Structure 1
Amino acid sequence: MKIALLGGTGRVGQAFVNFLEKDGRHSVYALVRGERADLLKNRCQTLTGNARNQHDTRALIEEADIVVSCLNTDGDDTLSVSVENIINTMNEQNKKRLITIGTAGILNARQDPTLYRFESNESKRRSARAAKEHAQVYEWLRDSSLDWTIICPTYLPEGPAVEKYRVERDFLPLGGKAISTGDTAHFLFAQLESDLYIRKRVGLAY
């Protein structure tokens, strides 16, 4: 399988590349900014560029069977601009499967499922800016024809994969407080050959 990877130099992205290296069955082509290229040196094929640039996104995805995005909000509109590029490119190139990392804030609130968690008292975040951007991405994907999965970890500390955690469609597992970068990457890796959560948000927590 040929994987187009965006956000591969981030915490979850690098942990995901670890799983791909150990597995050895897939070829990976990652889009990296020049100053971050050394983080994936000799670990996978790379294309120097920026996910905000439509040309770079087209070049990355052109030969891919599946697209994986571990991009985050980066403190600005990078996530929404980049995902819009990804969706447009995948439609142009007739590609269907997209797996992205989101946030637990865009899962449904348990007390009122008509709300996102970030809109309810279930969320402890002081600012909703990042969650709103993730919600915009979810709504674009929901309205698209792509076979997407949005993986929605809660508090995300650095840590290895213990490969034992809870998963729930559209909601955060009850009482979930955290999930490591390693286990988030472990679940992401498992979705490469799974259709269990297509067109679903998936909450992850211990």
Structure 2
Amino acid sequence: MRIFLAGATGRTGRQILQQARPRGHQITALVRGGADRLEPAESWLRILKGDLLDHPNLAEIVAHHDAIITALSSSVIEAATLKLIDAAQTAKVPRFLGLAGGGILQLDAHSLRRDRPGYPASFRTSSEGHLRAWKALEASTLDWTLVCTPDLLDTPATGRATALADFMPQGGKSVPRADVAAFMMTELDQPRFSRKRVGLTV
């Protein structure tokens, strides 16, 4: 499968690359900097240098890919997701998988986790971009899945991550980045959560 990856140089993005290679996927990574953190480009990995937020030909770059995957920071998630939605719809890329924070999952039928009393103010502020990215995906025509996580760990994959549509699985407070990457690869190959937020934890 041909995948366009945004956020490839980050810690989760590098895990996605590691998981994608043995599955035979072809990756295009657009990076602004930090390309030295990636493996030397081989036939399965194409590295392009540029700024996702200010690229004049983004639709042309994502064209002919089967999916877009994002692992973006809170500071750019809203703007980057909006740009990628527009490019994906123009280029008719069929699938979009993104990473977001668990605060935008449901607390109950009527409210989000970020709205509950005692939710840290700093997390609520940083989740604003995640919330707007989700709403933009909902308003799009894309077949999307937004993987929403608690604390991300730089530990080996457990193989025991639990996924639940729209809600955070009970009791989980963290998940290894490697488990997130593995879930994304499986969801890409065998979709179960079309146009859904997914809580993922161990």
The TM-score, its normalising length taken from structure 1, stands at 0.91
Shift of 1:125: 5.7
Aligned match of 1:61? 62
Aligned match of 1:20? 20
Counterpart CA distance in 1 for 2:112 and 2:56 is 33
- The one-letter code matched in structure 2 to 1:21 is R
Shift of 1:146: 0.5
Counterpart CA distance in 1 for 2:145 and 2:185 is 12
Counterpart CA distance in 2 for 1:72 and 1:116 is 20
Q: Secondary structure at the match of 1:45?
A: strand
Task: Say whether the 8 Å CA contact 1:109–1:122 is kept in structure 2.
Answer: no
Pick the structure with more strand per residue: 2
2:99 counterpart of 1:101: yes
Percent of pairs with identical residues: 27
Aligned match of 1:168? 164
The equivalences for 1:129-148 within 5 A come to 129-148=125-144
Change (3 A) 1:128 1:200: same
Counterpart CA distance in 2 for 1:80 and 1:171 is 21
Q: How many residues align?
A: 199
Give structure 1 stretches of 5+ with no counterpart: none
The equivalences for 1:15-164 within 5 A come to 15-23=15-23, 25-33=24-32, 35-43=33-41, 44-74=45-75, 78-110=76-108, 113-121=109-117, 123-124=119-120, 126-164=122-160
Aligned match of 2:5? 5
Q: Per-residue displacement from partner, 1:21-70 (whole Å, max 9, x unpaired)?
A: 222x111010111x311112425211101110242532430221111111
Shift of 1:127: 3.5
Task: Say whether the 8 Å CA contact 1:4–1:68 is kept in structure 2.
Answer: yes
- The one-letter code matched in structure 2 to 1:3 is I
The TM-score, its normalising length taken from structure 2, stands at 0.92
Q: What is the Cα-based RMSD across aligned positions, in Å?
A: 1.6
Task: Say whether the 8 Å CA contact 2:6–2:29 is kept in structure 1.
Answer: yes
Counterpart CA distance in 2 for 1:126 and 1:52 is 24
Q: Per-residue displacement from partner, 1:138-159 (whole Å, max 9, x unpaired)?
A: 0111111110000011111211
